[in-house]
Structure formats: C-alpha cells, structure tokens
C-alpha cells in the first residue's frame, strides 16, 4: 500500500468513526431520563472515544496527504472542505472536554459527515500547485481560516440545538418554518451526495459541444443526465439523454443540471422522511433536546464566536491581505471571495455588537449564529462554484 | 444644564447616573433599580445628556450602537450586491462604452440594469465610500462617547462607596466579620494578583482594568487602517503602473524616476507529470496542462543623478533578479510583480517591395513593430513611407483605422510606396493577409516575407507607502480584540463597620464564573460572610412567580 492509499483509507476510517459516533451520541442523549444525565455520561464516553479515533485518523489522512503532495492539503475544493470537516470535529472535541455536551456531538458529527461527503464529490486526486499558490502563505492563510470556520460552525451547532429546544413545534410560526428550512437544506446536501454517488458508480457520461459566452466552440462532459443543455449544444455521445431545455450562454447548464438533480432527489428524500415519520425533522429531533441546558448552549454559541472571530479576522483578512499583496501586488481587490470574507467578518462584528451592546442573547443569538454558518457555507459553495473569481481553483 | 450635587457633597457633571465619588444613585429611575447599571460606571455620556443642537443630534446618531450595527448591515449587503456580477476590473473590456456593451451582451437585461445602477463599479461609488466613511465616523464618535467618561471614572475611583451602591451590585455579601477579616482578605486578594488599595475601614481590590479598553483599542486599529487606505489617494504614497517589457528590451520603469529595467527573457514552465511529478499525472491528464512557473529574468539599472532624462549612457547596473509569481522584486520602496505575459509576440515584420506584374523586387524592408521608422529607403531611390501604424488594428471608424491596444497583436500599416516607376507614390493599407488600396489600383505591393517573434512580460510596478500604516492598524485591532475578549475587569469593595459587620460587593464586566471562583478563595481564607448572586436570585424568583401563575 502506498502512502497515498494509506492516506485515503484513513479518511474512510474517520468517516465511518464519525458515522458510528453520531448514533452512539444520539443513543446516549435519547437514553437520558427526564432531568438525568446518567445515560449520557456512560455512553458519552464511548461516543467521544470513537470520535477521537476518527479525528486522529483524519489528522493522519491530513499529514500523510501533506507528505504525498509536498504541500499543505488545502489547495482545492476536496482538500479544503475535508479539512473544514476536520476542524469542526476538532472544535467539538475541545468543547466536549470542557462541557461534556453529548447533544452537541449528535448535531456536529452529522454536519461534519455531510461536509466530508460533499467534499468527496470533487476530484480528489493529488494535484500540483499553480504558481500563485506556491508559497508558505497557502498553509498559513488557509489553515487559519479553516480552523476559524470550524470553530464558528460550532457556534451555529449550539444555536441550532437551542432552537430545536425552544421553537414550539405545535404552533405555526416563522421560527418553526425557518428551522425546518434549515433541516430541509441539510437533506438537499444529502441529495447531492446521493445523486453524485449514484451516477459516478454507474459511470454516467455524456459529451456535448456548445458555444460559450465568448462565442467560442467548447466541449462539456455531463456526469448526470442533462436536463438543461448548454447554449447551442450538440450531443457527441450516442444515445445520451437529450437536454429538455437549452440555456442562454451565461448560464452553466451543466452545473444547473447538477443542482436540479440534487434538489429533486433531496426533496424526494425529505418527502419520504415526512411520509414515514409523519413529523417535521425538527420535531423528530426535539425530544433529544429535553435535557439541554439552554444557558450552556447560549454560552457555547458565544464562546465559539469570541474565539472564532479573532482567528477568522487574522486568517481570512489579515493573512489574506498580506498574501494578496505578495502574489497579486494589491492587498485587496474586491474579488468575490475577498468580499464574502469581509461580509462574514462584518456579520460576526454585528453579532458581537448586538450581543454586548444591546443584549441580544438566547434565541436571537442562536438565529444569528445559524445565519453566520449559512454565510460561511455560501462563501465556500456558491462563491467557488457559481461566482467565478480568482479563488476558483477547484 | 446644572451640575448634580450628591448627598456626599461631590459635584457631578450633568447626566451622571451614579455619583462619581460615592456611587449613590443620582436619579429616581436609578434609585428604583434593584441592580445598578455598571456598563459605563454610571458616568455622564455626552450622547445621553445633550440633545438640543444639530451637533448634539449628529453626535447622538453616530454614538448609538443601533446605528453602528445598522451601518455594518447595510455595508455588508452592499458589498454582497457587488459580487452578483463581476466588477468592471474583471471584465475583458477597457473603454466605458465597451464595458457597458459587455454587461448587456453577456448578461442581457440584468446586466443592463446592473450597469445602469453603477453596480459594475460599486466599491468605488460615492455612496459606498460614503457608507465606509459613516462607519469610520461612528467608530470614532461611539468610542469617544464611552471611552472618555469611563476612563475618568475608573481613574478617579474611591475606595469607600456608599452602601446603596454596594447593595446594588450583583455579587453581595453581608454579615459579621472578625477583627482581622479585612487584613486577611487583602492578603488573599494580593495573592490572586489584585491591586488592593485601602482607606479607613474599607478596601478596593481590582484586576484587569486594561481589558475595559479593548473595544476602544480595536476601534483605533480600524480607524488607523481606514486612514491608511485614505492616504493612498495622496500623491507619492501609491504607485500602480503596468510595464510591458519584451525579451532583450530596456525600458524606463514608469513612476520610478532614475530606474531602468532590462528583460533577459520570459520563462513559462508547465508540470510534466514525469519523475518527481508522476504523482500529479492523473490531475494533469484531467485538466490538460498546469502552469508551474512564470518568470521574467531582469537586470535593474540606475541612472546617476544629474543625468539628462533619457540619457542611458552612464547608467549603472544595480542587480540581476528573477521575478516570479509570489516573489516580487523589491528595490528602494518599489516592487515589481510578474502579473501577465504574452508569448510569441510579433517583434518585426519583413516585406519586399514588388512590382505586381513582373514580380521584380525593389528590395526588402523590416519594420520594428515597437519602434517603427517613418521612412525605409530601398534600391534605386525607392522609398516606403509609413504614414500610419496601428499595432492592434481593430477596424475603421469614420474611415480612420483604429487600434485597440498599443501591443503589436494585429499590426496594420498605412504606407506610401514611391519607386522610379511610380514617382507620385501609391498608397496602400496592409494588415495580416489583407491589403486595401484606398486610392485606386497600385502597380507595386509590399509582399510579406516573414516575422520575428519574442516573449513579452507584463509586470506591475508598485509602491505603497501606506502598508506600514495598514499593518499597524491590523496589529492594533488584533491586540484590542484579544484585550477586550480574553481578559476581564474584576473588582471587590469590602467595608467593615464599627460593629465589625462586613459589607462586600463584587463586579466584573464579564465572566462572573471566574469572579465567583476568586471570591470563594477569599471567603475561605478571610472567613467572609457567604455571598449571593442577586441577578440569579431575581431570575429564580421570576421563574417561581411564573410557575405559580400557570
């Protein structure tokens, strides 16, 4: 087995460990009797042990991959997103050591699993660095950012648990709707993973020629049956599914097709869940939060942000500016990724001012923490895939 | 407004809530509160005191946290709007008209609206810069409004506070004490790194006051940063030029007087996927080619002071250097960056002046495409005169040939050819593979013979004297954030009455858990009366009352 194989196997080990730990944490929380933590204490130990094993395996993946590629493994979508999953779990382990919160594991680990699964949908082969990335600032800037985002995501997880407990599932309200919308969007990510995996396993490929927005002939390979066709597409693969709708040149119909399939499959999954359990997902999760200490969740939410925010400022703005000055001759250029890092910074600055200056704690803080995570995910997913800028290396 | 005179005799500035000296509440509202509002020590903040003149109103507007957060949110949304479509600097068009056309052509009506709203250059728009300016004003005013009174108040703290002040603190202990209680408490508190001061029958122990300055320090950092950004508009602080230099060429560096650069050549390397790079084979196969290095080898010269402009005879070599991406060449406050390149750029074009019918040649001429001559003298007194040169010919406008860029990508020549056969001269317009004879059929033509090419490097010339200021701003911001977030300000006031009873109050700006842990140790050591957390008591009581109602 080569070092590269060892590396990818370690990632599998980590994935499976997180998967098992999720259920053990869930069981640990569920087994609690009202007002007692005995089950949580006993099974929590087992679950955290499995989580730590998974984390060490993923750390092993990270280090061995670094050895194989010769550069910090954070240089493309697969590597960065995987590392994000890792820092998320790492942050959780630290908090568990401090606060012994099994319920946090039950929420953080599935999110980390989704993130790592999402990462694996991107090309994972070892890739060389383009000149702009050949510097130690790659490791310094990106590792700081990924740690900060992992910690900030913990605050969202704590916020989510807070909301799962306090939002009344019996009464129709905006809160109930939006909480369920978060659950639905998590299922959509699962939809993307399921769809991509299915079509990858079945080796689906269809080639088309098209005319791009600069009016040049180009080629594209679809890995899913093409619902949307590129501008003036012509099929090259015999018997391929013919696109139903042709899109104008500025719309990347290939990506749109992927989004369409993910939303379709995700929605079907969500509908099945609702049909089988006859309950909202948030209502299904609510019983798990019966023993949750709201004050503690609020504290974790706030603590994660006061730790994550300075690290984020340092990594995503200060280190980023230093590197941009060296590589691109200007420390700031209003590139979309830069702008969204600034948006994230401003958002958490607003969170802190509202909390410290106007006493926005508890439920308001919880919503803000969740919105912060949405902004981080937007910068990771949408800005990389839709708004192409200087950072779209993946 | 009048000064507020407290029962203790101290004169307080108007607007004071808690007496600066003894801590007694000075207004009825504050007297009726169970717990004192200690955020700014009950000091008189300008924004809470005056609201008459325009200046008061402006001051009050910008000192509000609500307004500050409002500005942050608007700025955040505005910044995000600018990423919907690319900004104009990332669009492959240079003139205003071409940029406008680009948005309409590529993005349809959405693009037209986006451009019409000015969102294509959002971050340079007046309203966006105005918003950033408002944020800066808010940072300054909100900080001053709070910092000045808070600083004064904490600087002039008295040890002995009125019992009404102490009883309104969240942490409170009352009960009998021993003769040496105060002394023992002082011992333990000093042990715990508190600064203890005593006065008559009381003591004040304080730790971590500097953390109260954290927010103001980080705001100062941000203001310094924004000031640095503003400075770049001043001449001399900031240089941003592009220098296209070809292999073998020597050029003066724009905006860097006295410096001349020679290019030895441009190198582009790609990953081969062989040997050491075998591990990258799969990735390279998937995407085609991956660039490994962009490099321009240059020699820097300096023209001695006092030399005439353009006089390069006496210039001295300063340094040979390889400029690569991520490795700019720095000298004398300037930096040269490898930003762009053009491979196989046309260098010269050669033609033969031929008689169209006989094919007889009157000689060859070679046109340097960067510095063309105006007259090319050939055999037998034949002359080719270059009437017009269009390095990057892009078509005709009002009958005039146009050039899109100054780079020789698609050269066009307007020439007049004079030979002994055609003494009046014939005019011809020549581009690659195309000749137009605007004034009727000619006898002679310029027949294309060949080209020479070379690589060109696009370098950015940068000087930015604001960088140290920006760095300082960033550093101060980070220090301020750490100072305010990771440290806290803890205080205890202890008084022993004549009958030996102890009155103790404690306050911290955050982390009450840590404060209580300290107090537990002091209580043990000095056998103080047990303390209670009045806020938790109140919450517990509210909860009980709530339960009774339901």
User: Which tens digits make up the pLDDT trace of B197-213?
Assistant: 998 889 999 999 999 99
Q: Is B129 on the interface with A (CB under 8 A)?
A: no
Range of the domain at B292: 238-343+460-472
Residue A314 is predicted with a pLDDT of: 96
> Residue A128: which of B271, B335, B467 has the nearest Cβ?
B271
Q: Does A131 contact B123 at a Cβ distance shorter than 8 Å?
A: no
B144 assigned to some structural domain: no
State the average pLDDT for chain A: 89
Q: Is B87 on the interface with A (CB under 8 A)?
A: yes
B contact residues 183-222, partner A, Cβ 8 Å cutoff: none
CA distance B65 to chain A (A): 6
The answer on pLDDT for A394 being more than 50 is: no
Buried-exposed string B470-480: b where 16+ CB fall within 10 A, e elsewhere: bbebbebbbeb
**Which of A329, A344, A352, A357 is best to mutate for the B interface (most B CBs within 10 A)?**
A329
B223 assigned to some structural domain: no
Q: Does B326 contact A331 at a Cβ distance shorter than 8 Å?
A: no
Q: Does B72 contact A135 at a Cβ distance shorter than 8 Å?
A: no
Q: How confident is the model at residue A104 (pLDDT cuts 50, 70, 90)?
A: very high
Q: For residue B539, what are its two tokens?
A: 């919450």
B221 assigned to some structural domain: no
Q: What's the CA gap between A269 and A131, in Å, rounded?
A: 43
The structural domains of chain A, with segments of one domain joined by +, span 1-75+90-121, 131-169+283-394, 184-279
CA distance B294 to chain A (A): 7
Q: Say yes or no: B131 and B275 in one domain.
A: no
Q: Say yes or no: B13 and B49 in one domain.
A: no
> Residue A350: which of B72, B83, B283 has the nearest Cβ?
B72
Q: Does A339 contact B83 at a Cβ distance shorter than 8 Å?
A: yes
Which H helix or E strand runs over B331? strand B329-331
Contacts of A127 in chain B (CB under 8 A): 280, 283, 290
pLDDT, one tens digit per residue, over A134-143 is: 999 999 999 9
The answer on pLDDT for A259 being more than 90 is: no
Residue A138 is predicted with a pLDDT of: 94
Name the region of A36 (left: φ>0; alpha: ψ -120 to 50; beta: rest). beta
Q: Say yes or no: B352 and B427 in one domain.
A: yes
CA distance B115 to chain A (A): 16
CA distance B98 to chain A (A): 14
Residue B513 is predicted with a pLDDT of: 87
Residue pLDDT tens, chain B, 550 long? 678 888 888 888 888 889 888 888 888 888 888 888 888 888 888 888 888 888 899 999 999 999 999 999 999 999 999 988 889 888 888 788 889 998 888 888 888 999 999 999 999 999 999 999 999 999 999 999 999 999 988 988 889 998 889 999 999 999 998 888 889 999 999 999 999 999 888 999 999 999 999 999 999 999 999 999 988 888 888 888 999 998 888 888 998 888 999 999 999 999 988 888 888 888 888 888 889 999 999 999 998 877 776 666 778 899 999 999 999 999 998 999 999 998 888 889 999 988 888 888 888 999 998 889 888 988 888 899 999 999 988 888 888 888 888 888 889 999 999 888 888 888 899 988 888 888 878 888 888 888 888 888 999 999 998 999 999 999 999 999 999 999 999 999 999 988 889 999 999 988 888 899 999 999 999 888 999 999 888 888 888 887 776 6
Q: Does A123 contact B325 at a Cβ distance shorter than 8 Å?
A: no
> Residue B326: which of A128, A135, A357 has the nearest Cβ?
A135
- Count structural domains, chain B: 5
B contact residues 242-271, partner A, Cβ 8 Å cutoff: 271
B439 assigned to some structural domain: yes
Mean pLDDT of A272-297: 90
CA distance B232 to chain A (A): 12
The answer on pLDDT for A304 being more than 60 is: yes
B446, B455 Cβ separation under 8 angstroms: no
Percentage of residues of chain A with pLDDT beyond 90: 57
Q: Does A69 contact B290 at a Cβ distance shorter than 8 Å?
A: no
- Residue by residue, DSSP assigns A57-74 as HHHHHHHHHHHHHSS-S-
> Residue A336: which of B83, B462, B477 has the nearest Cβ?
B83
**Which of A126, A249, A346 is best to mutate for the B interface (most B CBs within 10 A)?**
A346
Phi/psi of residue B68, nearest 5 degrees: -60, -50
A378, B121 Cβ separation under 8 angstroms: no
Q: Say yes or no: B38 and B50 in one domain.
A: no
Contacts of B286 in chain A (CB under 8 A): 123, 125
Contacts of B474 in chain A (CB under 8 A): 317-318, 321
> Residue A314: which of B87, B283, B478 has the nearest Cβ?
B478
Q: Between A and B, how many CB-CB pairs are < 8 A?
A: 124
Residue B359 is predicted with a pLDDT of: 84
Q: Does A125 contact B80 at a Cβ distance shorter than 8 Å?
A: no
CA distance B324 to chain A (A): 8
Task: Please classify residue B316 by burial: count the beta carbons closer than 10 Å to its beta carbon, then call 0-12 exposed, 13-18 middle and 19+ buried.
Answer: exposed
Pick the residue from chain A with its C-alpha nearest to B279. A126
Pick the residue from chain A with its C-alpha nearest to B475. A318
- Rounded to 10°, the helix A336-358/B65-81 angle is 160
Contacts of B279 in chain A (CB under 8 A): 4, 68-69, 126
C-beta neighbour count of B64 within 10 angstroms = 18
Q: For residue A91, what are its two tokens?
A: 């942050």
Contacts of B323 in chain A (CB under 8 A): none
Q: Say yes or no: B30 and B101 in one domain.
A: no
Contacts of A346 in chain B (CB under 8 A): 72-73, 75-76, 79
Q: Say yes or no: B370 and B388 in one domain.
A: yes
The answer on pLDDT for A161 being more than 90 is: yes
pLDDT, one tens digit per residue, over A29-50 is: 887 776 677 777 788 899 999 9
Phi/psi of residue B311, nearest 5 degrees: -85, 105
Cα–chain center distance at A144: 17
Q: Say yes or no: B349 and B333 in one domain.
A: no
B229 assigned to some structural domain: no
B145 assigned to some structural domain: no
Q: Say yes or no: B106 and B18 in one domain.
A: no
Q: Say yes or no: B191 and B264 in one domain.
A: no
Q: Say yes or no: B246 and B197 in one domain.
A: no
B contact residues 280-299, partner A, Cβ 8 Å cutoff: 280, 282-284, 286, 290-294
Q: Does B325 contact A125 at a Cβ distance shorter than 8 Å?
A: no
B contact residues 61-80, partner A, Cβ 8 Å cutoff: 65-66, 68-69, 72-73, 75-76, 79-80
The answer on pLDDT for A60 being more than 50 is: yes
Q: What's the CA gap between B349 and B392, in Å, rounded?
A: 14
Q: What's the CA gap between A211 and A218, in Å, rounded?
A: 6
B153 assigned to some structural domain: no
B154 assigned to some structural domain: no
Q: Does B478 contact A387 at a Cβ distance shorter than 8 Å?
A: no
Q: What is the CATH number of the domain that holds B500?
A: 3.30.160.110
C-beta neighbour count of B449 within 10 angstroms = 13
> Residue A357: which of B65, B73, B464 has the nearest Cβ?
B65
In terms of Cα–Cα distance, which of B63, B80, B82 is closest to B124? Answer: B82
**Which of B69, B92, B465, B484 is best to mutate for the A interface (most A CBs within 10 A)?**
B69
Q: What's the CA gap between A197 and A201, in Å, rounded?
A: 6
Q: What's the CA gap between A118 and A91, in Å, rounded?
A: 20
Cα–chain center distance at B432: 46
Q: Quick check: helix, strand or coil at residue A131? A: helix
Q: What's the CA gap between B350 and A111, in Å, rounded?
A: 67
């Amino acid at each position: 087995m080569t070092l590269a194989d060892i590396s990818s196997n370690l990632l599998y080990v980590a994935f499976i460990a997180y998967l098992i730990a999720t259920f053990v944490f869930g069981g640990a929380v569920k087994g609690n009797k009202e007002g007692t933590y005995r089950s949580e204490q006993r099974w929590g130990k087992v679950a955290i042990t499995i989580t730590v094993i998974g984390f060490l395996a993923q750390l092993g993946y990270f280090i061995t991959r670094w050895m194989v590629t010769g550069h910090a493994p954070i240089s493309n979508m697969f590597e960065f997103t995987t590392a994000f999953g890792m820092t998320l779990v790492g942050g959780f382990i630290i908090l568990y050591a401090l606060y012994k919160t099994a319920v946090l594991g039950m929420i953080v680990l599935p999110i980390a699993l989704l993130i790592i699964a999402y990462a694996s949908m991107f090309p994972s082969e070892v890739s060389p660095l383009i000149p702009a990335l050949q510097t130690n600032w790659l490791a310094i800037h990106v590792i700081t950012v990924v740690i900060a985002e992992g910690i900030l995501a913990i605050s969202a997880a704590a916020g989510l648990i807070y909301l799962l407990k306090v939002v009344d599932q019996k009464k129709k309200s905006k809160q109930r709707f939006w909480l369920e919308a978060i659950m639905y969007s998590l299922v959509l990510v699962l939809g993307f993973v399921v769809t991509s995996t299915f079509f990858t396993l079945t080796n689906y490929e269809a080639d088309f020629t098209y005319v791009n927005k600069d009016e040049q002939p180009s080629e594209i390979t679809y890995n899913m049956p093409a619902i949307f066709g590129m501008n003036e597409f012509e099929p090259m693969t015999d018997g391929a599914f013919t696109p139903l709708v042709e899109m104008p040149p500025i719309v990347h119909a290939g990506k749109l097709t992927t989004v369409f399939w993910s939303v379709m499959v995700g929605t079907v999954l969500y509908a099945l869940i609702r049909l089988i359990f006859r309950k909202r997902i948030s209502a299904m999760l609510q019983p798990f939060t019966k023993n949750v200490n709201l004050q503690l969740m609020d504290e974790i939410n706030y603590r994660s942000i006061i730790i994550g925010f300075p690290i984020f400022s340092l990594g995503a703005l200060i280190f980023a500016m230093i590197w941009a000055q060296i590589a691109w001759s200007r420390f700031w250029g209003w590139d979309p990724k830069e702008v969204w890092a600034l948006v994230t910074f401003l958002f958490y600055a607003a969170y802190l001012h509202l909390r410290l200056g106007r006493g926005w704690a508890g439920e308001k803080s919880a919503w803000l923490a969740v919105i912060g995570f949405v902004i981080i995910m937007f910068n990771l997913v949408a800005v990389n895939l839709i708004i192409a800028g200087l950072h779209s290396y993946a | 407004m009048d000064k507020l005179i407290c029962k203790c005799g101290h004169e307080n500035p108007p607007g004071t809530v808690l007496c600066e000296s003894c801590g007694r509440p000075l207004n009825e509202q504050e007297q009726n509160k169970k717990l004192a509002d200690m955020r700014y020590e009950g000091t008189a903040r300008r924004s809470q005191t005056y609201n008459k003149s325009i200046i008061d109103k402006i001051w009050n507007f910008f000192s509000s946290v609500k307004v500050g957060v409002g500005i942050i949110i608007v700025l955040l949304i505005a910044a995000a709007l600018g990423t919907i479509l690319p900004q104009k600097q990332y669009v492959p068009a240079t003139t205003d008209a071409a940029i406008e056309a680009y948005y309409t052509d590529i993005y349809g009506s959405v693009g037209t609206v986006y451009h019409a709203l000015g969102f294509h250059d959002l971050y340079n728009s007046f309203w966006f810069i105005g918003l950033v300016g408002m944020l800066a004003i808010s940072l300054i005013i909100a900080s001053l409004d709070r910092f000045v009174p808070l600083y004064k108040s904490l600087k002039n703290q008295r040890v002995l506070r009125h019992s009404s002040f102490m009883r309104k603190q969240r942490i409170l202990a009352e009960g009998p004490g021993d003769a040496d209680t105060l002394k023992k408490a002082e011992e333990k508190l000093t042990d715990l790194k508190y600064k203890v001061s005593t006065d008559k029958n009381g003591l004040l122990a304080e730790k971590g006051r500097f953390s109260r300055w954290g927010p103001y320090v980080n705001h100062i950092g941000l203001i310094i940063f924004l000031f640095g950004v503003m400075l770049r508009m001043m001449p001399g602080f900031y240089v941003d030029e592009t220098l296209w230099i070809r292999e073998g060429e020597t050029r003066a560096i724009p905006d860097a007087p006295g410096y001349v650069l020679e290019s030895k050549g441009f190198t582009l390397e790609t990953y081969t996927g062989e040997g050491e790079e075998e591990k990258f084979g799969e990735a390279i196969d998937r995407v085609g080619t991956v660039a490994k290095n962009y490099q321009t080898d240059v020699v820097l010269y300096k023209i001695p002071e006092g030399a005439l402009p353009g006089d390069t005879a006496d210039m001295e070599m300063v340094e040979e250097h390889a400029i690569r991406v991520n490795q700019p060449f720095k000298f004398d406050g300037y930096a040269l960056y490898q930003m762009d390149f053009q491979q196989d750029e046309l260098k010269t074009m050669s033609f033969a002046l031929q008689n169209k019918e006989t094919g007889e040649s009157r000689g060859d001429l070679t046109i340097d495409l960067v510095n063309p001559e105006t007259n090319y003298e050939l055999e037998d007194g034949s002359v080719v005169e270059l009437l017009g040169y269009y390095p990057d010919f892009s078509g005709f406008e009002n009958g005039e040939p146009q050039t899109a860029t100054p780079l020789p990508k698609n050269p066009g020549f307007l020439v007049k050819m004079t030979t002994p056969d055609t003494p009046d001269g014939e005019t011809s317009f020549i581009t690659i593979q195309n000749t137009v004879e605007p004034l009727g059929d000619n006898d002679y033509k310029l027949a294309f013979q060949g080209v020479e090419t070379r690589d060109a490097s696009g370098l950015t010339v940068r000087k930015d004297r604001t960088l140290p200021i920006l760095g300082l701003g960033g550093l101060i911001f980070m220090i301020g954030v750490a100072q305010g977030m990771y440290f806290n300000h803890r205080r205890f006031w202890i008084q022993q009455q004549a009958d030996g009873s102890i009155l103790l109050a404690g306050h911290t700006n955050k982390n009450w858990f840590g404060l209580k842990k300290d107090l537990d140790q002091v209580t043990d050591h000095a056998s103080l009366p047990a303390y209670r957390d009045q806020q938790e008591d109140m919450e517990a009581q509210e909860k009980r009352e709530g339960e009774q109602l339901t």
